[in-house]
Structure 1
């Protein structure tokens, strides 16, 4: 049985393909169109999935969309009626789009798919899955658990913003929901907006900024903005928010509460903004942990799965794991809307079609390391790079690993394009920029000279799974970079009294451990454990770096500049390589050195993309 899942028309459009319950392919549209968070119908992602499966659309048994547009339209209409006459202007602006596209989305989807198969049986084979059920299915069905509580938290689906389901075998039953406008995701996004970052993309910045501040506004948030019950359920005080009726997230009353208007994107970040970030991060963590404790008490199930945009808050995830309310935790790596495409397909296969789950031995999940995107054979790589004007040498596997490890140990930044592209927002050693974590200048160098982004943003360590506990306070799998833990005390550097007294961004350049490039100002790190079973070549590179340096850790950041989607093809990688200050690039077995390239091909990537 072959099922195609699709998410589109909000943000992060994607497609995913199942064959007999096995995930064959999944990818976001942005990687092909090169438009960050592309929300258009995912034509290129669907083309890729079908090609990867060797299929035409006529071979597909069901096409499943990740939410139910009519119910979403109902929520929009009821919200405006509830708040009338406030918000008429945004209602007037939104309604034509909804009437033209969203309300009649079934017809829109049919017309889009006609280019692949005009005679496809849309009446019976086009299915729709509720938004939070898509998220829940994406979290539970690929997980290693036979039974789990499934907690989904995001901005909003149709009505639900937070939902609880119970997964057992091939069943998944929705149990509880919190409805719009009461939303943890929208609360966090409101502070993202208030601190001057883009909603739906800048939440990572807010999380990265939080450790530079003190949570001195947390009491204000608890007292005025959110009412949390003993079981973790919550309500927001809508007097402070405008997202129901207006064209912005917060309002003048919110500004008064926090003592200033929202920061503009080009304004300086102050200690106050850092303290606000620390405050909302602390409150978010408290609510997530309280929710989890309530669910463990109510259902008694030892495992929890997470999905939805809030599940990408890896700091909260790490604290939830350490809290111990649940014995084990599994998070869908594509936890946002892109993962809804996969979840919709899985829900159709197991729930609509009644098919059993494939039993998995051991602790590894069904996501295959999330390496579900395109790969390129060596001959194709060479042809593509040659056509792009690249100068390269072709090395055997051992020589490539040796040369790259030596370059990293010498302090060079390495573009690493190997195997299948990752599905989800994180680069996991398939489309990565790598560096030496021992360098005290690597974090700042990568941010300012390679990524062209704010200097405060942290980088993640990739560590050999077998060595993780010797370097970090984590001895469990974290293959998707979705858990934060501290560097172990033995690897930390003692701070001087002067260094301890520093505040805010002044802390940035103080080395805190043996691996300062991946140690945040609070000694934390967003950890990826690397497994030989899912990415043998990346595991081999880190192993060779360890043999040369004694350090089983690399800096790993996504292969892109700020505002650009992660690279997909060899050509994407070469363009980015020529547009920033990476010294080495390995694509398959091709090795490129910056000094060998034609200077005429150098690009101005610093200003090529909109700020993220």
Structure 2
């Protein structure tokens, strides 16, 4: 009998759904891609509908629906935290309680109501079994069960689940054994988010901006962090000095004592950071990396494993991941590409398959279970052409070989190309199916993409996508990096020495390599390795670009405009193409030129983005 299991995450941030068929991932997607609301926390109705449609089944055919969190434990933590800090936080308590008492505390009832509406039934009798995992348990399952490893240590680090903020596990076969955990409010994820807030970025979405800012600074506040904010033990466990933080019950992450400690107030959102904030960013990044290394060494000691799997929001810190690969105790590591809460939907489903239903696990050391993370919707050329003709959009139809040759020539000529192919990626990274591409050799491409296309901060670097067989030639990278979750140094042969008198954000104007658009100020890059097995279309384009230019590298950044999630459908891509200064758009086998587009459609799309911003 075929068994289908649906995993869901929602109501906090980054709602998602994932469907398994006899343990194999059939489909997975975030709700934001369908609703077009960035980090959408709503019940993932559209994502579930997509997953069921991909499998060709109805909700009634599911064996189980698994939620990634245990609401009673989370409510216990919330209540105990407010009581411990009373009367501080009373206003926040009053705001939170009605939502909990009406919905979140009775989540089983809420979920069944949503499932009934989805199925179009009036009672619960025809609904599938409803199961719940713990938050970090779902993270750990998403990391280990989807990995290629049979035996591995598992490290999960995030803000907070129910109580846990950091957990260690031992995965072996179909078993996932908890070994150690830290509890709220002592959290590496929330510590990093506090500094994200301090440096003027939005919590739960701006942490990667802080990571990108760090190389511009000097870690001169590290001693202050260790002396005043955090007590770290040899095993990586730690305790925060909570007199500096307001996040347990406040509307801010930090308090005035924190600001006095660092000698300046929190930076206003979107303000240009001075050298002070650059140095603060560098300091928290170094401390985060140090703690991750200590935790990893302890995990290896507990498990004896020579491989490690990572999940949780901190696992998206690809600079720390790169250092763990270079300096850590493990021979190999694997990072869940949907490491944040969206991946909890996948972990919850996998946990049910392997532990609730006690199914055997057959890992393949050559390939993981993520299918390149290409688990979202795909669209046929017929669907794309129907849309283009309905919108009266001029296009050119190409064959696969023509497409690679023409697009590589456009990229080599300095054009910016939207690239929409195959199934949408699951997780926060664009991996060559919902991407914006550019020539990494161009000294102007980083500023063009940041200011005219992505409409984002100018200091942020772009990631290189490189043919896997050439990765070691260009980067100090001893393993593949298919999910763009490892930072590696550019090899010395490709570096250019900068003017050493320049400091701060002024360094972003310096050319530091023959690939300036993807080389960060510290000669690092967040690398994606591309092979013919995982993404043949993208691989073919990179091959064509190499044949034309001698360079096997392209800039790869997510296909979205500011304030919106990455595109999902051809319609989303068309709107994004019109709304930005992108030169060309490739939708499947069709090629669109911006110069040939209707000015009225362009103006309307740009007005929509401007109004939303």
TM range (shorter): over 0.9
Deviation at 1:606, TM superposition (A): 8.8
User: 492, 495, 506: which one pairs with 2:495?
Assistant: 492
Question: What displacement does 1:298 show?
Answer: 2.7
Partner of 2:517: 517
For structure 2, the 5+ residue unaligned runs are none
- Asked if structure 2 preserves the Cα contact closer than 8 Å seen for 1:561 and 1:605, the reply is no
Q: Provide the C-alpha distance between the structure 1 equivalents of 2:474 and 2:286, rounded to a whole number of angstroms.
A: 25
In the alignment, does 2:38 pair up with 1:36? yes
Q: Which consecutive unaligned segments of at least 5 residues does structure 1 have? A: none
Determine if the alignment matches structure 1 residue 49 to structure 2 residue 72: no
Could you tell me which residue of structure 1 aligns to residue 411 of structure 2?
408
In structure 2, the partner of 1:218 is 222
| TM-fit CA distance, 1:415 | 0.3
- For 1:559-570, list aligned pairs within 5 A: 559-570=559-570
Shift in Å, 1:121: 4.3
Which residue number in structure 1 is paired with residue 153 of structure 2? Answer: 149
For residues 462 and 84 of structure 2, the distance between their equivalents in structure 1, rounded to whole angstroms, comes to: 44
> Aligned equivalents of 1:387 and 1:548: distance in 2?
36
3-state DSSP class of the match of 1:500?
coil
Secondary structure of the 1:296 match is helix
Structure 2 CA distance, aligned partners of 1:606 and 1:458? 27
Superimposed CA distance per residue, residues 245-289 of structure 1 (whole angstroms, 9 cap, x where no aligned partner) = 211100010011011111111433111111111110010000000
Partner of 2:248: 244
Q: Which of 98, 102, 105 does residue 103 from structure 1 map onto?
A: 105
Deviation at 1:509?
1.5
User: What secondary structure sits across from 1:80 in the alignment?
Assistant: helix
SS at match of 1:103: helix
CA shift at 1:442, angstroms?
0.4
TM-score by length of 2: 0.97
Alignment correspondent of 1:539: 539
Match of 2:393 among 384, 390, 396: 390
Question: Aligned pair in 2 of structure 1 residues 377, 606: CA closer, same or farther (>3 Å)?
Answer: closer
Distance 1:164 1:540, change over 3 A: same
Cα distance in 2 for residues equivalent to 1:494 and 1:124: 62
**Counterpart of 1:586 in 2: which secondary structure?**
strand
Q: Note if 1:64 corresponds to 2:66.
A: yes
1:610–1:314 CA distance, 2 compared to 1 (3 A): farther
In the alignment, which of 290, 296, 300 is matched to residue 294 of structure 2?
290
Q: Which residue of 2 aligns with 1:329?
A: 333
Map of 2:173 onto structure 1: 169
Q: Which residue is 2:368 aligned to?
A: 365
Residue 402 of structure 2, aligned match among 399, 403, 409: 399
The equivalences for 1:192-211 within 5 A come to: 192-211=196-215
TM-score when scaled to structure 1? 0.98
**Structure 1 residue matching 2:117: 3-state secondary structure:** coil
The answer to whether the 8 Å contact 1:27/1:423 transfers is yes
| Counterpart residue number, 1:2 | 4
Aligned to 2:190: 186
Residue number in structure 1 paired with 2:117: 115
The Cα of 1:324 is off from its aligned counterpart by: 3.4
Render the CA deviation track for 1:326-367: whole Å, top value 9, x for unaligned. Answer: 11100000000000000000000001110112332x422110
Please say if 1:530 is aligned against 2:530: yes
Aligned partner of 1:454 among 457, 464, 486: 457
Instruction: Return closer, same or farther for 1:70/1:388 CA change in 2, 3 Å cut-off.
Output: farther
Residues 69-104 of structure 1 deviation map (CA, whole Å, 9 limit, x = unaligned): 111001000111111222111111111111111101
Check whether the contact 1:563–1:609 (CA below 8 A) recurs between aligned residues: no
Q: What is the CA deviation profile of residues 193-228 of structure 1, one whole-angstrom value per residue up to 9, with x for unaligned ones? A: 111110000001100000111111111111111100
Q: Does structure 1 residue 347 correspond to structure 2 residue 354?
A: no
Report if aligned partners of 1:334, 1:424 keep a CA contact under 8 Å in 2. Answer: yes
In the alignment, the residues of structure 2 paired with residue 50 and residue 120 of structure 1 have an alpha-carbon distance, to the nearest angstrom, of 19
Deviation at 1:449, TM superposition (A): 0.6
Q: What is the rounded CA distance, in whole Å, between the counterparts of 2:101 and 2:370 in structure 1? A: 37
Q: Which residue of 1 aligns with 2:466?
A: 463
SS at match of 1:104: helix
